[in-house]
Amino acid sequence: MPHPLQSEVRNRLLKVIPQEAFESLRPYLELIDLALKQSLVEPNVPNDAVYFLESGLGSVVAQSSDGETVEVGHVGREGMAGYHVLLMTPTSTHRTFMQSMGSAFKVSVDPFMAALEKHPQMRNLLLRYVHSCEVQLGHSALANARYNMHERLARWLLMCHDRLEGDDLALTHEFLSLMLGVRRSGVTEQLHILEGLHAIKATRGNIRIVDRAKLEDVAGGCYGAPEAEYKRLIENQDARSIGQFQV
């Protein structure tokens, strides 16, 4: 699928951009596989392409000068990786890598920037996506400051579940602990509790979401705000109003 039709793509951003914008991007859309742990954006390295995910899941990670890291954002097929080029910088301090393998339409930066220039409606829509990512970042900060591990864990599982097909998440406790910035065996304990509630079913290297409603219950106010903002700004758009400045 080197030159996909807009109706064939699954990425939600590509799906909602105006048709003529999609057409001008189309010759540059290159469908590629993304391996587990593959890096899409390296910190402080100019990236030569942006990625509209079709499947799989990416993590955005912040890193401090003394080596501490934590995940601050998720990217699935609702979004794109490398959006900092929309903010006119070829580099970011955040790393983006594949947490769960998948595929994406890769677009080189040059034609991408040219298409933005040519299609303000697309540009504006993508900027709105950037805003929803801002909200996500803010709520990651809030979650880390004010919620306990089990609430953050539930939030994290929900965010994965939102972005992947099926109810199985291929994750190890170790990986989860890195993402949440907590101790590995703490994750093990909390997963047992969630399993006790019959919200999830954990096996080696896998977590199955059994009862999403229960997870949302556990997460409480920790989950939801960025998702609502995404819906408001991206999904609740009819053809006329795409990329307009409006409520």
d(CA 163, CA 56): 8
154 binds, among its own copies, DNA, none (CB under 5 to 8 A by kind): none
Interface positions, 9-68, toward its own copies (CB under 8 A): 46, 60, 62-68
Examine residue 183 and tell whether it contacts DNA (CB under 7 A).
yes
* Closer residue to DNA, CB minimum distance, 39 or 188: 188
| Residue at 56: amino acid letter | G
By CB atoms closer than 10 A (0-12, 13-18, 19+), residue 246 is exposed
Give least dist CB 204 to its own copies, A: 27
Examine residue 88 and tell whether it contacts its own copies (CB under 8 A).
yes
| Residue at 156: amino acid letter | W
| Residue at 202: amino acid letter | A
* Closer residue to DNA, CB minimum distance, 8 or 174: 174
Residue from 138, 184, 217, 241 touching its own copies (CB under 8 A): that is 138
Residue from 31, 86, 114, 210 touching its own copies (CB under 8 A): that is 86
d(CA 174, CA 186): 10
How many Cα atoms occupy the beta-carbon half-sphere of 9 within 13 Å? 30
Residue from 8, 23, 174, 235 touching DNA (CB under 7 A): that is 174
Q: Contact 107/50 with Cβ under 8 angstroms?
A: yes
111 binds, among DNA, its own copies, none (CB under 5 to 8 A by kind): none
Of 2-10, 24-32, 201-209, 221-229, which segment contacts its own copies by CB under 8 A? 221-229
Of 5, 143, 2, 145, nearest in space to 74 by CA: 143
**Site track for DNA across 120-159, x = CB under 7 A:** ----------------------------xxx---------
Q: Contact 227/162 with Cβ under 8 angstroms?
A: yes
d(CA 203, CA 168): 10
By CB atoms closer than 10 A (0-12, 13-18, 19+), residue 19 is exposed
Examine residue 182 and tell whether it contacts DNA (CB under 7 A).
yes
In order of 23, 56, 57, 234, the CA distances from 75 in angstroms are 24, 9, 6, 15
What are the residues binding DNA (CB under 7 A)? Answer: 148-150, 172-174, 181-186, 188-189, 191-192, 202-206
What are the residues binding its own copies (CB under 8 A)? Answer: 46, 60, 62-70, 72-73, 84-94, 113, 124-125, 127-128, 130-131, 133-135, 137-147, 180-181, 220-222, 224-225, 229, 233, 243-247
